[in-house]
Chain A
Amino acid sequence: MTAETALALYQTMLEIRLFEETLYRLFSTRDMPGSMHQYNGEEAIAAGVCGHLVKTDYITSTHRGHGHCIAKGADMNAVMAEMFAKSTGCCAGMGGSMHIADFGVGMLGANGIVGGGIPHAVGAAWKCAYKGDGGVAVAFFGDGASNEGSFHESLNLAAVWGLPAVFVCENNLYGFSTHYRRVTPVEDIACRAASYGMEGLVADGMDVEDVYAKAGDAIAKARAGGGPTLLECKAYRYMGHSRFENPTYRPKGELESWKARDPIGAMAARLMGGYGLGASEIDGARARAEAKVAEAVAFAEGSPEPGPKDYERYLHA
């Protein structure tokens, strides 16, 4: 990986982290609409995977989708405005945190239904294969979704049709409050790939370089017509499942042990170590991210709310 790529991945992770931290403060101190599911701790996955994608590639996301949106290149102003339910939001204030999407950059949507977006990625991959446009589609989903029927049906169909899809399982150990090993009889969800005759890979989801390397292999294979891959990225959700929920179900010390391996801190150290960057470049990345998030908040705050009947124009095309 070049220093330039490494810095770009770092920048993406930092933007996601600052976006989420800012949003948490906003939810704590203001009357924000709705709820949210935060991505802190899992940034290396979105950054490492989307680092290989271009605008015309597709992703589908989960209820925890802010990071995917930002990593895929969505306009942060519009993403933040959607959190505020403003008409300038990427979904015009009609979707909110759980349904953010930016079709202009191939982000086909967060999804309020666990596993709901996985087959959409299969469909997008089908379109890419049919058109022969060289595109790939990546489905992000969690450990919980791997126990949904849509996971099985989607991976099976993508495999038998040989589609350019990559299935990225973000195993953050918990489906809401339930540890995945209480409801999943295998340690590595990636091993489920075997039942679809596809390759299953495990990446360290706290290490953006590892994610980037393995996602690169899977995406290149898909692009070259080699069919789908299941990539499991093991990571940890720093926050509760949703807004203000206190994750009492976690053993003491677990959060701290994962935070000790924080993907952003680790990457900063590597940038200043092996990649030979200076503190000024790290500080510059942070300053850029802070400015971007601050601008997004100001944009959202200054944007108008939708009119009470605005939804009528969106029901049918």
Chain B
Amino acid sequence: MGYERVADAIRAAIIEEMDADPDVVMLGEDIAAFGGAYRVSEGLLERYGPRRVLDTPISEIAIAGTAIGAAMTGLRPIAEFQFNDFMACAMDQICNQAAKIRLMMGGQVRVPVVFRAPYGATGRAAQHSQSLEAWFAHTPGLKVVMPSTPYDAKGLMRSAVRDDNPVVFLEHKMLYGAASPGGKAKTVVGVLGPSFREAPEDPYLIPIGEADVKRAGEDVTIVSTGYMVHKSLRAAERLESMGIGCEVVDLRTVSPLDMGTVLRSVGKTGRAVIAMESVGDFGVAAEVAARLAEDGLFYLDAPVRRVCARFVPIPFAPACEADVIPSEEDVVAAVRAVCA
């Protein structure tokens, strides 16, 4: 039996890596004794002890910077941020330090650190709901991964831990499926169907930097990440009944960006919709659109459309959040527009 929730799949990947390599260590807020806000590190303190699984103060600079220093000197730390929004407190360490140290120092050093964080909107308003992959993807020297299924999460986490470069690993909260003791998870795990592919127990790696075609189709390409992959797949089913065949490309890694897979798909379909939960303005979706314009313009039979969060801080009221965050309906409408 495999892992049906992203939280379990990531934990399984970490266990495989920690079993294999004693230099893999973890640090973060509430990860050890409590087991992690989203339960990814549940049971790991008991399994590996307090020398390898460490609770930190609420000190994002120190979490990132200490992980970097340990990585520079031979450990392979996995640093958890409780929300990707909190990484803002550690931007110097992540973007000025981790991303640049190797090049600045002429290749003398490797910085094998994983910065993990949950992202995405779940009714927690503006400072706990963002999808911030573009902040990190905009910084050369960082790799940025955002898996959409337990299968991808496990294989990509193992690759991230083994990577000799800093990797920002972003995990959508709706896909974790685990809840704090006595709590109730807000999740879509359990309603997503077979596209939410479970992770087998057997070990395997998924290379960083390879997109995955999650659904084949002939008429339009939907380029997506994370939870939006599932909204896009559901939209594709509805569009199928309207006679529109959608190909859904899950980027899986946003930096480095696998434009080869995107361009091959758009070369076939001639149309592209880019569906991401982050704000579209100046973001990863904008980057994909720009590269389609540069390298795939003559494939296109219609203008590219982005389906992204509106360009506002995410409001608390559920109706407002729902308006800001892109939906399955928004994907359907955008696909119909480019196919009109």
* A binding-site residues for B, Cβ under 8 Å: 58, 60, 89-95, 99, 101-104, 108-109, 111-113, 116, 118-128, 130-131, 137, 149-150, 153-154, 156-157, 160-161, 311, 313-317
Given A124-B73, A126-B69, A126-B70: A150 in contact with B102 (beta carbons within 8 A): no
Instruction: Indicate if the CB atoms of A118 and B73 lie closer than 8 Å.
Output: no
Partner of A119, one of B64, B74, B102, B108: B64
Partner of B69, one of A60, A92, A113: A60
Q: How far is the CA of A119 from the CA of B72 in the complex (A)?
A: 12
B108 / chain A contacts, CB cutoff of 8 Å: 90-91, 101-104
Q: Specify the chain B residue showing the minimal Cβ separation from A148.
A: B61
Given A113-B96, A116-B97, A316-B165: A123 in contact with B71 (beta carbons within 8 A): yes
Instruction: Indicate if the CB atoms of B103 and A315 lie closer than 8 Å.
Output: yes
Given A130-B75, A154-B62: A122 in contact with B69 (beta carbons within 8 A): yes
B110 / chain A contacts, CB cutoff of 8 Å: 317
Q: Specify the chain B residue showing the minimal Cβ separation from A121.
A: B69
Instruction: Indicate if the CB atoms of B54 and A108 lie closer than 8 Å.
Output: no
Instruction: Indicate if the CB atoms of A315 and B141 lie closer than 8 Å.
Output: yes
Within 8 A of A (CB), among B86-122: 92-93, 96-97, 101-112
Interface: B195 (CB within 8 A): no
Instruction: Indicate if the CB atoms of B57 and A153 lie closer than 8 Å.
Output: yes
A156 / chain B contacts, CB cutoff of 8 Å: 57, 59, 62
Max count, chain B CB within 10 A of own CB: residue among A104, A123, A130: A123
Interface: B314 (CB within 8 A): no
Q: Specify the chain A residue showing the minimal Cβ separation from B69.
A: A123
Q: How far is the CA of A288 from the CA of B68 in the complex (A)?
A: 38
* B binding-site residues for A, Cβ under 8 Å: 25, 51-52, 54, 56-57, 59-62, 64-75, 77, 92-93, 96-97, 101-112, 140-141, 164-165
Instruction: Indicate if the CB atoms of B70 and A124 lie closer than 8 Å.
Output: yes
Partner of A315, one of B59, B66, B67, B102: B102
Instruction: Indicate if the CB atoms of B97 and A314 lie closer than 8 Å.
Output: no
Q: How far is the CA of A106 from the CA of B236 in the complex (A)?
A: 55
B105 / chain A contacts, CB cutoff of 8 Å: 91, 94-95, 99, 101, 103, 109
CB B111 to nearest CB in A, in angstroms, measures 8
What number of residue pairs across chains A and B have CB atoms under 8 A from each other? Answer: 149
Instruction: Indicate if the CB atoms of B103 and A120 lie closer than 8 Å.
Output: no
CB B144 to nearest CB in A, in angstroms, measures 13
Q: Specify the chain A residue showing the minimal Cβ separation from B59.
A: A153
Given A93-B106, A94-B106: A127 in contact with B62 (beta carbons within 8 A): no
A94 / chain B contacts, CB cutoff of 8 Å: 103-107
CB B80 to nearest CB in A, in angstroms, measures 15
Q: How far is the CA of A125 from the CA of B72 in the complex (A)?
A: 11
CB A95 to nearest CB in B, in angstroms, measures 4
Q: Specify the chain B residue showing the minimal Cβ separation from A154.
A: B62
Instruction: Indicate if the CB atoms of A119 and B65 lie closer than 8 Å.
Output: yes
Given A93-B106, A101-B105: A160 in contact with B73 (beta carbons within 8 A): no
CB B56 to nearest CB in A, in angstroms, measures 6
Q: How far is the CA of A122 from the CA of B66 in the complex (A)?
A: 5
Between A and B, 16 residue pairs with Cβ closer than 8 Å are A90-B106, A94-B104, A101-B108, A108-B69, A108-B109, A113-B92, A116-B96, A116-B97, A120-B65, A123-B75, A124-B73, A150-B62, A160-B57, A161-B54, A313-B107, A315-B103
Q: How far is the CA of A91 from the CA of B93 in the complex (A)?
A: 20
Q: How far is the CA of A157 from the CA of B52 in the complex (A)?
A: 16
Instruction: Indicate if the CB atoms of B106 and A95 lie closer than 8 Å.
Output: yes
A113 / chain B contacts, CB cutoff of 8 Å: 92, 96-97
Given A58-B73, A120-B97, A130-B51: A157 in contact with B109 (beta carbons within 8 A): no
Given A99-B104, A130-B52, A150-B61, 14 more A-B residue pairs with CB atoms under 8 Å apart are A60-B69, A94-B103, A101-B104, A108-B72, A111-B97, A113-B92, A116-B97, A123-B69, A123-B73, A124-B70, A128-B73, A153-B65, A313-B107, A315-B102
A95 / chain B contacts, CB cutoff of 8 Å: 104-106
Q: Specify the chain B residue showing the minimal Cβ separation from A104.
A: B108
Partner of A157, one of B66, B93, B97, B165: B66
Given A116-B97, A156-B57: A317 in contact with B164 (beta carbons within 8 A): yes
B72 / chain A contacts, CB cutoff of 8 Å: 103, 108, 120, 123-124
B25 / chain A contacts, CB cutoff of 8 Å: 130
Q: How far is the CA of A94 from the CA of B164 in the complex (A)?
A: 19
Q: How far is the CA of A198 from the CA of B97 in the complex (A)?
A: 27
CB A124 to nearest CB in B, in angstroms, measures 5
A111 / chain B contacts, CB cutoff of 8 Å: 97
The 8 closest A-B pairs by CB, nearest first: A123-B69, A119-B65, A92-B106, A120-B69, A317-B164, A153-B62, A91-B106, A123-B70
CB B250 to nearest CB in A, in angstroms, measures 23
Given A89-B106, A91-B104, A314-B102: A157 in contact with B62 (beta carbons within 8 A): yes
Partner of B68, one of A104, A119, A315: A119
Instruction: Indicate if the CB atoms of A157 and B69 lie closer than 8 Å.
Output: no
Instruction: Indicate if the CB atoms of A157 and B73 lie closer than 8 Å.
Output: no
Q: How far is the CA of A118 from the CA of B61 in the complex (A)?
A: 10
Q: How far is the CA of A315 from the CA of B51 in the complex (A)?
A: 32
A120 / chain B contacts, CB cutoff of 8 Å: 65-66, 68-69, 72, 97
Instruction: Indicate if the CB atoms of A127 and B70 lie closer than 8 Å.
Output: yes
Instruction: Indicate if the CB atoms of A126 and B66 lie closer than 8 Å.
Output: yes
Q: How far is the CA of A198 from the CA of B134 in the complex (A)?
A: 40
Q: Specify the chain A residue showing the minimal Cβ separation from B72.
A: A108
Q: Specify the chain B residue showing the minimal Cβ separation from A108.
A: B72
A108 / chain B contacts, CB cutoff of 8 Å: 69, 72-73, 109
Max count, chain B CB within 10 A of own CB: residue among A99, A101, A120, A150: A120
A116 / chain B contacts, CB cutoff of 8 Å: 65, 92-93, 96-97
Max count, chain A CB within 10 A of own CB: residue among B59, B93, B96, B164: B59
Given A124-B73, A315-B141: A119 in contact with B106 (beta carbons within 8 A): no
Instruction: Indicate if the CB atoms of A314 and B73 lie closer than 8 Å.
Output: no
